[in-house]
Amino acid sequence: MRRIIHLAPVFMFMLFSISSIEARDVSGYNRLHKQVSLTSRYTFDSFALSSGDLRQSSRMDTTMYNLKINWNIKGRLNIHRSYRPVSEKAKKGISISFEALFSKMEQSQWGIGIEYQIPRALERFIGNFNFVPLYAFIIVNPSAEKRSPYLTGRLGYNFFFGDSTFKGTSESNTGLYGGVYYAYGVGISQKVKNGLIIAEILFSYNLGKMEIMSERYNVKYSNTNISIGIGF
């Protein structure tokens, strides 16, 4: 009995040590659990933010389309011949444009397009002609505002066509060849519920060549385009 009494302080010290160790383990576990929870929450929030950025980026890179009808006014066809240059006024015409916008950056957009000119005539010549340009274009200073003015430019290649009356027959038959196409101007877009309403004024230049009696001459058809269209 006396031995048990002597050993009692030893047992009490051992029990106190074990309790202290368990308390430290529980406290450490709680701190670890809190750190893991904070890390998981931070990781989830970061993933959600990154996902939102990716969704926003994908929306900015979504392909959009423009469909426009153009009134071609103040047209003039110039045939550059060394002995007798020709400069003739062209009658007013209509053309239709279709464009695809592939990228939207902070200060610009770019895309590709095609325009079909409905054949038109010269005022003092018979026959009809037209150009069909394929082009890349850029829009500068697009805005997130509901109404946004902008600058635009086009550069590409156009095909040159004419009916049999315009080209002539027999020995005077005329060959028509395409060339560079470029245009520049201003526009404004108005946001609506399902897309955009677009209005533009462009100064357009179609270059090509005419072959008459085995000789080729440079041709330039210039006109002013007044356009209205939709974006979707």
**Dihedral sign from CA coordinates of 129, 132, 138, 140:** positive
Provide the pLDDT for residue 144. 67
Verify that 79 and 53 share a domain, yes or no. Answer: no
Provide the pLDDT for residue 11. 45
Q: Is residue 135 pLDDT above 60, yes or no?
A: yes
Residue with more model confidence, 63 or 151? 151
Q: pLDDT digits over 21-54, tens only?
A: 444 544 554 554 455 444 444 444 443 444 444 4
Question: CB neighbours of 90 closer than 8 A, spacing ≥ 6?
Answer: 72, 75, 76, 77, 120, 121, 122, 123, 221, 223
DSSP 96-116: EEEEEEEEE-SSEEEEEEEEE
Q: What is the CATH number of the domain that holds 69?
A: 2.40.160.20
Verify that 21 and 85 share a domain, yes or no. Answer: no
Residue with more model confidence, 214 or 178? 178
Provide the pLDDT for residue 167. 85
Q: Residue 217: which of 185, 159, 175 has the closest Cα?
A: 175
Q: Classify residue 190 by its DSSP letter.
A: E
Verify that 32 and 71 share a domain, yes or no. Answer: no
The highest-confidence range among 9-13, 168-172, 223-227, by mean pLDDT, is: 223-227
Q: Is residue 206 pLDDT above 70, yes or no?
A: yes
Verify that 69 and 19 share a domain, yes or no. Answer: no
- At 57, the pLDDT band (50, 70, 90 cuts) reads very low
> Quick one: average pLDDT of 48-73?
67
Verify that 94 and 13 share a domain, yes or no. Answer: no
Q: How far apart are CA 130 and CA 214, in angstroms?
A: 22
> Quick one: average pLDDT of 202-225?
94
Verify that 176 and 68 share a domain, yes or no. Answer: yes
Which secondary structure element, helix H or strand E, spans residue 199, and what is its range?
Answer: strand 195-212
Provide the pLDDT for residue 103. 76
Verify that 7 and 72 share a domain, yes or no. Answer: no
Torsion of CA 39, 45, 51, 53, to 10 degrees: -120
Verify that 42 and 82 share a domain, yes or no. Answer: no
Q: For residue 204, which amino acid is it?
A: S
Verify that 91 and 183 share a domain, yes or no. Answer: yes
CB count within 10 Å of CB 184 equals 14
Verify that 41 and 70 share a domain, yes or no. Answer: no
Geometric angle at alpha carbon 136, from 219 and 158, rounded to 5°: 25
Provide the pLDDT for residue 50. 45
Q: Is residue 74 pLDDT above 80, yes or no?
A: yes
Q: Position of tokens 């200060």? A: 107
Provide the pLDDT for residue 92. 96
Q: pLDDT digits over 150-184, tens only?
A: 999 999 999 999 998 988 755 556 899 999 999 99
Q: pLDDT digits over 81-133, tens only?
A: 777 788 999 999 999 999 999 877 778 889 999 999 999 999 988 899 999 99
Domain-ending residue, one of 19, 42, 59 = 59
Report residue 29 as tokens. 């576990």
- Can you give the residue range of the structural domain that contains 31? 1-59
Question: CB neighbours of 91 closer than 8 A, spacing ≥ 6?
Answer: 75, 120, 121, 122, 123
Verify that 12 and 116 share a domain, yes or no. Answer: no
Q: Position of tokens 């500068």? A: 140
Verify that 65 and 54 share a domain, yes or no. Answer: no
User: pTM (2 decimals)?
Assistant: 0.72
* Structural domains of the chain, count: 2
> Quick one: average pLDDT of 184-194?
93
